[in-house]
A and B are shown apart, each in its own frame.
Chain A
């Protein structure tokens, strides 16, 4: 029965139909905030994606859009604030303190919670990254407010000025829209690549205001210490969310050996390799290559799906691809309901033929240029 609101169709009356008067104490909460996540001198793209959505929400509400930047001195916090302005923020709250040099739950929770209590935003958005999920869950509990995870759509319910957050549930089989009626701020997380990246406008006439804030914490207050940071070996790691071309395989390939056909085509195309959940569970490929509701969300220019039936679980992670080529021997496979091109056939035969055709085509193009 836990998490029932977010996972089970309601047995109670729908709350959205009735206009709910906001508790007078909560009327003071105004404005839309986006937590700006950064690592090693770069802002995480999900923060820009959230500013794009946040801008729309702020305009619907007629309020300001603010970024929240927490960084160690010398980590370019002020530059991140300026950049947030290019992506639509009106102002930024900036906390700079040496204890913020690595992400740790305690200082980040305190900083963000204090800012919310002091400046009282009505909406607070974070990326559904490992950092964002760790922080959002802690902040929402500390503030005793509602938090909706992994939203795929955000809008304002005109009846009660509430954030209407839509998210998949039951592995993507259903969508539900969730409201936080009588609590503020209304919090939500969104996964990377679910929302489009807005185009930055560096010459905007908006003036960026930076509101500095002190953390009020010293290193000795914090129990957890980061002993070491081991960066990922990016050469071997899948970079699916930002891949331009993805070749993905599913259960229809029958066994791990046949999955090599996916790698072969990907190699010729310079593409990343993706997989559906059953394939990852069977251990044919690593977990970080899983595309779908419980894996990565991708939006490449070309997605080739071989032997993937197109269950909702998978679909929600890749349907925003520009062009989808689906290969499946079942003409009734759900993937043919949303792919751009369909090939009804044996993926084990079509994949090598496609690999060869692309190889010849690219060789010819190289000769010609």
Chain B
């Protein structure tokens, strides 16, 4: 079986700060990581590799040259091959143009070895769109399975897969055919530690680096900024105005006095809340 895992290198959004004057992202010192949701996808692929002999896992990313770090990391967890699709021509791509490029690259991978499963994270932590996975599936005509929490069974002879996926108000158990594209839900697994062997292998493993021609881009008008229907017209910092909280006096007060003062103020200024709370508290 051949599995392709799509990953993205992202800035760790929890460590991003916005410059207070220029309203621009301060990238200095912000570490680049593998999108955490993609790790769930990679781990699930590696688990299948653990149980099904003869499985190869190829990790694929599109990004600037330094995205190589993300691929080496993925190799250290146990992926077999790594491909970096990188070209200035991809710059400025939105989700539609991105899915076009990724789909083209997967078609190139398929020329060497057919692909049975494609995994992707459910979304990234920088763009947060959750659109590239479904887009790639549509372009490659793969059955799409988003928000998967569990792979219940996989029958390679019948080419049949049964999965559990998060739906509104419950879990759907779905049976479909491979090849399919799966995005994994958080909490469904936990990334393993890299083994010493794999860490050494990852450091010297040759990466395949593809420009737009190697990635099989047929229509250059569909990639990068040119191929993107959406355009950013404005970027701004949220909440220019601030309303300072009314501070409860805590000088030389006990916690009990503070709590009592808080309650009487709350119920005096928001009398309806009292009835509301009484109702909820029963």
Which residues in A have some Cβ–Cβ distance to B below 8 Å? 1-12, 14-17, 37, 39-40, 44, 102-106, 109, 129-131, 133-134, 136-138, 140-142, 144-150, 157, 164, 168-183, 223-232, 244-245, 268-271, 277-278, 287, 293-294, 301-302, 312-313, 315-316, 319, 322-326, 335-346, 349-350, 352-354, 356-358, 361-362, 365-366, 369
- Is there an interface contact between B281 and A172, defined as CB atoms closer than 8 Å? no
Q: Is the CB of A357 within 8 A of B263?
A: yes
Known: A146-B229, A178-B233. A226 touches B23 (CB 8 A): no
Question: Could you tell me if A170 and B13 are in contact, using CB atoms closer than 8 angstroms?
Answer: yes
Question: Contacts A2-B132, A4-B94 given: A339-B245 contact, CB under 8 Å?
Answer: yes
* Contact call A271/B280, Cβ cutoff below 8 A: yes
Give the docked Cα–Cα distance between A8 and B64 (Å): 14
Q: Are B169 and A9 in contact (CB under 8 A)?
A: no
A365:B62 contact, CB within 8 angstroms: no
B238 touches A145 (CB 8 A): no
| B167–A1 CB distance below 8 A | no
Q: Which residues of A sit under 8 angstroms from B128, Cβ to Cβ?
A: 7, 149-150, 168-169, 171, 293-294
Chain A residues with CB below 8 A from B262, complex form = 325, 341, 343, 354, 357
Known: A130-B168, A141-B134. A269 touches B281 (CB 8 A): yes
CB-CB contacts below 8 Å: B52-79 with A: 62-64
Q: List 25 A-B contacts (CB under 8 A).
A: A2-B93, A6-B230, A7-B126, A9-B25, A39-B169, A106-B143, A129-B168, A130-B147, A133-B131, A137-B134, A138-B138, A145-B229, A171-B128, A172-B238, A173-B13, A223-B143, A224-B176, A244-B276, A312-B238, A322-B270, A335-B245, A342-B245, A345-B250, A356-B256, A357-B260
Chain A contacts for B246, CB-based, 8 A = 340-342
Tell me the smallest distance from the CB of A329 to a CB of chain B, in Å: 10
| CB-CB under 8 A for A1 and B172, given A6-B230, A174-B23, A244-B280 | no
Does B273 reach chain A (CB closer than 8 Å)? yes
Q: Which of B14-22, B40-48, B110-118, B195-203 contacts A (4 or more CB under 8 A)?
A: B14-22
CB of A268 within 8 A of CB of B273, answer no
B235, A174: Cβ atoms under 8 Å? yes
Q: Is the CB of B96 within 8 A of A225?
A: no
B167 to chain A, nearest CB (A): 6
Asked if B28 is at the interface (CB within 8 A of a chain A CB), the reply is no
| In the complex, per-residue mask of B161-204: 1 if CB is within 8 Å of any chain A CB, else 0 | 01010111111111111000000001100000000000000000
Q: Which one, B92, B131, B187, contacts A12 given CB within 8 A?
A: B92
Nearest chain A residue, comparing its CB with the CB of B18: A173
Smallest beta-carbon distance A90→chain B, Å: 26
Cα–Cα distance between A270 and B18 once the two chains are bound (Å): 38
How far does the alpha carbon of A215 sit from the alpha carbon of B54 in the complex, in Å? Answer: 42
CB-contacts of B189-245 with A (<8 A): 225, 228-239, 242-245
Tell me the complex Cα distance, A115–B281, Å. Answer: 48
8 A Cβ contacts from B264-282 to A: 265-267, 270, 272-274, 276-282
Assuming the contacts A147-B95, A323-B270, asked whether A6 and B232 have C-beta atoms less than 8 A apart, the reply is yes
Closest 10 CB pairs of A and B: A16-B233, A137-B134, A270-B280, A146-B229, A342-B245, A171-B13, A3-B127, A2-B98, A353-B259, A353-B255
CB nearest neighbor in A for B257? A353
How close is B71's CB to chain A, nearest CB, in angstroms? 15
> What A residues does B244 contact at CB under 8 A?
336-337
Q: Which has the most chain B C-beta neighbours within 10 Å: A147, A157, A342?
A: A147
Q: Quick check: B130 and A133 within 8 Å, CB to CB? A: yes
CA distance A230 to B166 in the complex (A): 10
Complex contact B232–A177 (CB within 8 A): yes
Complex Cα gap A349–B257 (Å): 12
* B258 contacts A343, C-beta separation under 8 Å: yes
State in angstroms the CA–CA spacing of A303 and B246 once bound together. 15
Residues of A within 8 A of B91 (CB): 1, 4
Could you tell me the distance in whole angstroms from the C-beta of A343 to the nearest C-beta in chain B?
Answer: 5
Q: Indicate whether A179 sits within 8 Å of B276 (C-beta atoms), given known contacts A5-B92, A223-B176, A341-B262.
A: no
Tell which of B62, B143, B235, B281 touches A362, judged by Cβ atoms closer than 8 Å.
Answer: B281
Contact A338 B147 (CB under 8 A): no
Considering only CB atoms, which chain A residue lies closest to B232 in the complex? A10
Q: Are the CB atoms of B281 and A341 closer together than 8 Å?
A: no
Q: Is the CB of B250 within 8 A of A344?
A: yes
Check A354 against B127 for contact (C-beta < 8 Å).
no
- Are B238 and A342 neighbours in the complex by a CB distance under 8 Å? no
A10 touches B235 (CB 8 A): yes
Shortest Cβ distance from B144 into A: residue: A105
Question: Given contacts A140-B95, A228-B172, A301-B273, could you give 18 more A-B pairs where the C-beta distance is less than 8 Å?
Answer: A3-B95, A9-B232, A44-B168, A105-B144, A141-B134, A145-B96, A164-B233, A169-B127, A171-B126, A230-B173, A269-B280, A302-B276, A338-B243, A340-B246, A343-B248, A350-B258, A361-B263, A366-B278
- B238 cross-chain contacts in A, Cβ below 8 A: 168, 172, 174-175, 312, 315-316
- Cα-based distance from A335 to B131 in the complex (angstroms): 32
Q: Are A169 and B126 closer than 8 Å at their CB atoms?
A: yes
Q: Is the CB of A294 within 8 A of B174?
A: no
* Across-interface contacts of B23 in A (CB, < 8 A): 174
Q: Complex: how many Å from CA A287 to CA B231?
A: 33
Using A1-B64, A150-B129 as known contacts, say yes or no to A103 and B167 having CB atoms under 8 A apart.
Answer: yes
Is B277's CB under 8 angstroms from A269's CB?
A: yes
Residues of A within 8 A of B129 (CB): 3, 6, 137, 147, 149-150
Which of chain A's residues has its CB closest to B272's CB? A301
Which one of B138, B243, B267 has the highest number of Cβ atoms from chain A below 10 Å of its Cβ?
B138
**With A9-B24, A344-B250 as contacts: A157 and B233 at CB distance below 8 Å:** yes
A15 to B52, CA, bound (A): 50
Least distance between A230 CB and chain B CB atoms (Å): 4
CB distance from A154 to the nearest CB of B (A): 14
Least CB distance from B140 to A in Å reads: 11
Tell me, in angstroms, the Cα distance from A308 to B239 when the chains sit together: 18
Q: How far is the CB of B116 from chain A (nearest CB, A)?
A: 15
